[in-house]
Amino acid sequence: MKKAILLPMLCLITLCGCEKSTELSEITGNTGNSENPETETPENGSLTFQLHTDKTTCNLLDLTVFSISFNRTVSMLDISHQFDSIAWIVEDKDKNLHSFCIMEQNKKFFQWSHCFYYPGEYKTYLAGYKAQKETFRSDTLDLQVVTKDFLGWKWNEFPNETGQTGTGTVNLFNSDFELTYYNQLSDNGVPGWNLYVFNSAGEDEQAFYEKSSEALYHYITQIYGAPSIDRNSPELTEAFTADFDYHPDYATPLAIWETEQTRIVQLRIDKNWPTARIYTEPLSEK
């Protein structure tokens, strides 16, 4: 399985491990107050920084690269002297804050990557902390994360070749829910996307199936609404057989969604051990 990699000048974030989403208080040391942390004006000539990104409009699950730059040439000692830590902060439209520490005593990332899992408008900035106080904040960047026909993909842009291995996405705010996907063509040439959660920690297969199946169901429901045919419906098997071109072996349909462009089904695959999968095809008249 391929994982997205970071650019030169830092370790591979996908191999170093990702931190879960944290409240701002976990980085600042403040408790219960995430509105405007106490700030201090930097002294003249002191170290400051800015946040940069390779794009401000992002497709869902598309890799977006971020980086930090300083106002002058710096050494690791300079950074450590002025800041105990520097965090990348993302605020969603509901004012929820998510953070990932890019610099502290044992790590310093100058560039990092992330895939946004939900559409919407985001504000993002960098914050530096000293003695549990925010001492500097970069300018804020506005991001727009958009969906296409299915998540961040359009059917008329479907890859010419079928994917041979899954491509993993980077979720810095929740490493327990990192999606993997691959594309395929059915025997009659109908394109399809497969989406699943990779069991990277080697958990018990049955327990992981239950957890990942529930997570995928809620993920698709949050983006596309309630299924058109929900779990335990007697219509599921007949609808899956009639409406979808591709029917993998050992598959049981669990729920079906339908949008203007796409049919989506959640499957349980019972081969060697149970696995959960989302499979999608373009909507077409039979």
pLDDT score of 164: 64
| 30 pLDDT higher than 70 | no
pLDDT score of 123: 98
| 39 pLDDT higher than 50 | no
Is the model more confident about 29 or about 121?
121
Alpha helices in the chain (DSSP H): 13-16, 24-28, 76-82, 205-224, 236-243
- Banded pLDDT at 165 (limits 50, 70, 90): confident
Q: What is the pLDDT of residues 216-243, one digit of tens each?
A: 999 999 999 999 999 989 999 999 999 9
- Residue among 251, 282, 254 nearest 266 (CA): 254
pTM over 0.85: no
3-class DSSP state of 179: strand
User: Is the CB of residue 111 less than 8 Å from the CB of residue 67?
Assistant: yes
User: Is the CB of residue 84 less than 8 Å from the CB of residue 131?
Assistant: yes
- Residue among 165, 115, 114, 113 nearest 1 (CA): 165
pLDDT score of 26: 25
- Banded pLDDT at 188 (limits 50, 70, 90): confident
* Token couple for 107: 């790590």
Q: What mean pLDDT, rounded, does the chain reach?
A: 84
Q: Tell me the C-alpha distance between 263 and 259, whole Å.
A: 6
pLDDT score of 278: 98
| 158 pLDDT higher than 80 | yes
Half-sphere exposure of 267 (CA within 13 A, CB side): 24
- Residue among 231, 216, 186, 233 nearest 276 (CA): 216
Half-sphere exposure of 56 (CA within 13 A, CB side): 9
Q: What is the pLDDT of residues 111-155, one digit of tens each?
A: 999 999 999 999 999 999 999 999 999 999 999 999 999 999 999
Strands of 116-233, DSSP E: 120-130, 133-137, 141-146, 167-168, 179-185, 191-197
pLDDT score of 226: 97
pLDDT score of 43: 46
- Banded pLDDT at 160 (limits 50, 70, 90): confident
- Mean pLDDT confidence for 161-178: 86
User: Is the CB of residue 184 less than 8 Å from the CB of residue 246?
Assistant: yes
Name, in order, each residue with C-beta under 8 angstroms of 261's C-beta and a sequence gap of 6 or more. 149, 150, 155, 282, 283
